[in-house]
Structure 1
Amino acid sequence: FAESAARLLAVHRELLAGGDVPELNLGGGFGIAYTAADDPAPIGELAQRIAETVAAGCEELGIPLPVVAFEPGRSIIGTAGLTLYTVGTTKDVLVSYQDDAETAVRRYVSVDGGMSDNARPALYEAQYSARIANRVSDAEPALVRVAGKHCESGDIVVDADYLPGDVAPGDLLAVAATGAYCWSLASNYNYIGRPAVVAVRDGSARVIVRGETEEDLLARDAAYEGVKG
């Protein structure tokens, strides 16, 4: 982010030759923790380092300090959202590793959604984590891969995580950090209706975007006019 700011300041100086440019937009891209392995820099630390870089760069280039704007959408909304799925079929598959010298069991857990409501794993190999949301279990953990319902090899919701070994059809599965670039990228892939969006606060819930029905999917179909004669 500091390097990006430094490079944009050079462009900013060139633009100043044509007149006043009071604002410098440095964009967004601030990371969030999608899994326990992620450790994003705190916003306060990023802001301080960027401010220092901009101040030093303006002094070096001999230009006035601009108003600096940001677009921190994902860092605000990303962790505020999660996706709830219902578990369908589960299946254990034997997989090889370490040059096929060893084998292990991976449990595939299917859910009632997938790449139509979260395209990021298929598009970018994005990583997510999952937890059973409807109950507490003390079963031994099992290595799982959460798969969608769209009959595509790339339709993976969670590539690898551990869930209680008794995960079963009907369980609710929560996938965290789906507040950004999931619903906004959702589609009717394989003619699947997009899910509802529910806002929750202080124990109260309300639907803010209703889920699509079959009638919604068919609403744009033109009426059939039979051939006469």
Structure 2
Amino acid sequence: PSEAFDLAQRARELPNLEFVGLHSHIGSQIFAVEGFVESATRLVDLYARLLETGEVPTMNLGGGFGIAYTEADDPMDIAELIPQIVDHVAHETSSRGLPMPHLAFEPGRIISGPAGITLYRVGVVKPVAVTLPDSSVATRLYVSVDGGMSDNARPALYGAHYSARIVSRVSDAPPALVRVVGKHCESGDIVVDADFLPGDVAPGDILAVAATGAYCYSLASNYNAVGRPSVVAVHQGTHELMVEGETVANLIARDRGLGSTTRGAH
């Protein structure tokens, strides 16, 4: 807190900087209000000190609000979460005789995340024997798809978990343990680490992976010369192409090869 106070004071003094307020960021994928309340309490402490020497235009309590990637995730409704934080700040400031600050939040993932669904086409299905923690042996289906870590780097970067469903047809087949993997020839190229799909999942099936609207397109790359996929907006039975998928021609469009100026060079 003392370091933050000193930095804020220094920002006020520098002619080429404008002090616009306080900001905190406590993490990502947060499902409970307690961390935000604690952060707000600490910011109000700093807010009170800074008000003694000048204005504090904004108090930004950041983001990190979690969303459901799998059935195991149980996020709070943001419509219930934000009022609790605002009420806490109001109580903390009024009890000290301070003006209520202008509050800001950053609900990024919670807006765009659930809005995105990635569709993959199944290429190959391969049964693999795996040893379970109890030393028993089970069969896991490795389901390869036409995308992977170039369109969703999060599982490879930090072990993010997703779930998948077959959306191109209805199946009554018994569920089978699967791992959905990509086409990038890497051991970490995993789309869905562990989930259950109908046991008759087959080449040509379309899989949907939900909650990919945040940190997928923005982190997408051309890893291993794989083009980024199209982005299509869908609304009430209509659709519109927002971003064209990359073709091989797009990937090599900037290649120039060896020109005349380098002929004869070794």
TM-score bracket, normalised by the shorter chain, equals over 0.9
Secondary structure of residue in 2 paired with 1:180: coil
Q: CA deviation at 1:60?
A: 4.4
Task: Identify if the C-alpha distance between structure 1 residues 18 and 211 changes in structure 2 by more than 3 Å, giving closer, same or farther.
Answer: farther
In the alignment, which residue of structure 2 is the partner of 1:176?
210
Please say if 1:51 is aligned against 2:78.
Answer: no
Q: Deviations over 1:22-72 (max 9, x none)?
A: 211111111111111111011122112201221122234442111111110
Code of the aligned partner of 2:41: A
Q: 2:178 aligns with which of 136, 139, 144?
A: 144
> What count of residue pairs does the alignment treat as equivalent?
228
Q: 2:121 aligns with which of 86, 89, 96?
A: 86
Q: How many angstroms apart in 2 are the aligned matches of 1:185 and 1:8?
A: 31
Please say if 1:35 is aligned against 2:75.
Answer: no
In the alignment, which residue of structure 2 is the partner of 1:115?
149
Code of the aligned partner of 2:116: G
Larger Cα-atom Rg:
2
Q: How many angstroms apart in 1 are the aligned matches of 2:154 and 2:194?
A: 15
> Any runs of at least 4 consecutive aligned residues in structure 1 with deviations exceeding 4 A, and if so which?
none
Q: CA deviation at 1:130?
A: 0.3
Code of the aligned partner of 2:139: V
Higher relative contact order (Cα pairs below 8 Å, separated by 6+ residues): 1
Please say if 1:5 is aligned against 2:34.
Answer: no
Q: How many angstroms apart in 1 are the aligned matches of 2:52 and 2:264?
A: 71
In the alignment, which residue of structure 1 is the partner of 2:23?
none
Secondary structure of residue in 2 paired with 1:221: coil
Q: Percent identity?
A: 64
In the alignment, which residue of structure 1 is the partner of 2:5?
none
| Structure 2, gaps ≥5 residues long | 1-35
Q: CA deviation at 1:15?
A: 3.5
- TM-score computed with the length of structure 2 as normaliser: 0.82
Q: 1:130 aligns with which of 151, 164, 174?
A: 164
Code of the aligned partner of 1:188: N
Q: How many angstroms apart in 2 are the aligned matches of 1:57 and 1:81?
A: 38
Q: 1:188 aligns with which of 222, 227, 251?
A: 222
In the alignment, which residue of structure 2 is the partner of 1:206?
240
Please say if 1:76 is aligned against 2:76.
Answer: no
Task: Identify if the C-alpha distance between structure 1 residues 84 and 61 changes in structure 2 by more than 3 Å, giving closer, same or farther.
Answer: same
Q: CA RMSD in A?
A: 1.5
